[in-house]
Structure 1
Amino acid sequence: MLTRRKFAALGAVAGLAACTTPELAPVARSAAAAPPQHPPLPAFYAAITDEPYPIPAVPPGALDPALWRQWVANPWGDHPHGTIIVDPDSALLFFIDSPDRALRYGVSVGAAGFDWEGTARLQFRRAWPRWTVPESMIARKPELEPHSVAHGGMDPGPGNPMGARALYLFQNGIDTLYRIHGDASPRELGHAVSSGCIRMLNQDVIDLHDRAVHGASVIVLRSVKPKGVAGVY
């Protein structure tokens, strides 16, 4: 079950890594390094110019192909159409289309998201939403007070961390304060960078927003990573 306790941010923790260094063949000083080769991005990551605010193209080579939006075999065939499943450890979000297939997106997951699990309800969706800063965040960053609920939040558009779309998650009629939203940068996908939410590329969150089903279940899988994954926002 989702609880308010599970929205607490987690502290940073050092990771361990293998440190065996293979012996490398000497490289000739005159040899020029070959430029990196990147597969061409799908056309849907081009610039979007018909929105109220411009959305730039994803730069070539900036996005790992494993995090591209793509159709995959449905790992959860028993869930109905419209169900959204988030795997925080893999930084992947799945939109269940049919018993046989799902649409997979790369995401970034907030530090608190690694301790947040259970089932919520997709209560509503917003295009170019306002950002109303929670009181808990204002307590940490008083400079955000002008964007509080009392002041009407931050106007939509460039600079608003909610991006082009937001999906709002509720449980038992209560706002969880947990969102799926846009404005991720390509290089942050796959990392813990957002304070408690699931962040997507604007191109991807627009696509998910248009497919999403009002009232559908949003399931956040349990993280098996060690406690203390760091995130910043």
Structure 2
Amino acid sequence: MKRPSFKLLALLGGLGLLAACGAPYEDGPSRGATPEMYDVLTDGDITLPAVPVEYLDEPNRRAAVKYDGPEAPGSIVVDPYAKFLYLVEDGGNATRYPIAVGREGRGFKGSASIRRKEEWPGWAPTANMLRTEPEVYGPFAGGIPGGVASPLGARALYLYRGGRDTRYRIHGTNDLASIGNSSTAGCIRMFNQDVIDLYNRTPMGTDVVVRTYEESVAAEGEAMANRGVELPPTIVDPEVIYAAVEAQEAKNTTE
């Protein structure tokens, strides 16, 4: 299991009031009602806790759906308003994943392609984050290394247009409550189990299309195109996550 240094953990732990440290993993790594696709997942030397079932109410879970959009099979369609990402498949089908959308995600429109993929990427706040919300992001200016504490989660897909990095990413998250909602910062976030599934099914060069609000209403209906609420920025206290991971590892050694 990858962990930040003690010095970094001490820094993160000191931000308890900003970190909303209680919610995602406080009740342990697995619940009996959690679907298998969201259960505990071992990825190399990192163990991901299960996604608690309270974050998986329909339509906030991966699903096989019918799809009649114009995009070719193999394409990714992001709907930042309905908070869905579609991986288009043959035969008028798609896999639909729930997502969270940050301000940067809502500012991107049109098409791009995936030109870079990373497993367990590290994270550092952008200059804009540091300038606009220094009380939240200032202590993290030096970045957080890859692992379960990283806000980019288990995988990141980087979108390029015309050979240039758009700064738009599809990535995992440890802020589970954000899925299905909007946030004041960030791009497109997915449950870690979902972004691993998408990463494994997405080759380099995959086309990505981002819907406008009008396209979302036409495809999903007005109510769904306004799904979710806007949440304040949250950096989850990594000690909460690590406690769940270590509890699962201890359980595994005794079984």
Deviation at 1:133, TM superposition (A): 3.0
Any gaps of 5 or more consecutive residues in structure 1?
Answer: 1-38, 148-153
- TM-score by structure 1 length? 0.72
Structure 1 counterpart of 2:141, from 134, 141, 145 = 145
Are 2:124 and 1:136 equivalent residues in the alignment?
A: no
Structure 1 counterpart of 2:177, from 165, 183, 187 = 187
The corresponding residue for 1:219 is 209
In the alignment, the residues of structure 2 paired with residue 85 and residue 66 of structure 1 have an alpha-carbon distance, to the nearest angstrom, of 17
Are 2:82 and 1:86 equivalent residues in the alignment?
A: no
The corresponding residue for 1:74 is 67
The corresponding residue for 1:111 is 103
Are 2:156 and 1:199 equivalent residues in the alignment?
A: no
Q: Secondary structure at the match of 2:71?
A: coil
Q: Secondary structure at the match of 1:61?
A: helix
RMSD: 2.3
Deviation at 1:115, TM superposition (A): 3.3
Deviation at 1:134, TM superposition (A): 2.2
Q: Secondary structure at the match of 1:163?
A: coil
Change in Cα spacing, 1:135 to 1:111, as seen in structure 2 (3 Å) is closer
Change in Cα spacing, 1:65 to 1:185, as seen in structure 2 (3 Å) is farther
| Contact residue 120 and residue 147 of structure 2 kept, 8 A | yes
| Contact residue 47 and residue 56 of structure 1 kept, 8 A | yes
Structure 1 counterpart of 2:51, from 58, 64, 67 = 58
Matched AA of 1:176: T
| Contact residue 34 and residue 50 of structure 2 kept, 8 A | no
| Contact residue 49 and residue 55 of structure 1 kept, 8 A | yes
Residue by residue over 1:49-102, the C-alpha shift from the partner in whole angstroms, topping out at 9 and shown as x without a partner, is 2433221111133311212111111232x4223210011111000001214211
- State how many pairs are aligned: 187
The corresponding residue for 1:163 is 153
Q: Secondary structure at the match of 1:95?
A: strand
| Contact residue 116 and residue 222 of structure 1 kept, 8 A | no
The corresponding residue for 1:12 is none
| Contact residue 114 and residue 222 of structure 1 kept, 8 A | no
- TM-score by structure 2 length? 0.66
In the alignment, the residues of structure 2 paired with residue 185 and residue 196 of structure 1 have an alpha-carbon distance, to the nearest angstrom, of 11
| Contact residue 48 and residue 57 of structure 1 kept, 8 A | yes
Change in Cα spacing, 1:194 to 1:41, as seen in structure 2 (3 Å) is farther
| Contact residue 88 and residue 94 of structure 2 kept, 8 A | yes
Any gaps of 5 or more consecutive residues in structure 2?
Answer: 1-31, 215-224, 234-255
The corresponding residue for 1:44 is 37
Q: Secondary structure at the match of 2:195?
A: helix
In the alignment, the residues of structure 2 paired with residue 220 and residue 196 of structure 1 have an alpha-carbon distance, to the nearest angstrom, of 15
| Contact residue 124 and residue 142 of structure 2 kept, 8 A | no
Matched AA of 1:143: P
Question: Going by fraction, where is helix more abundant, 1 or 2?
Answer: 2
Q: Report the identity percentage.
A: 35
In the alignment, the residues of structure 2 paired with residue 175 and residue 80 of structure 1 have an alpha-carbon distance, to the nearest angstrom, of 23
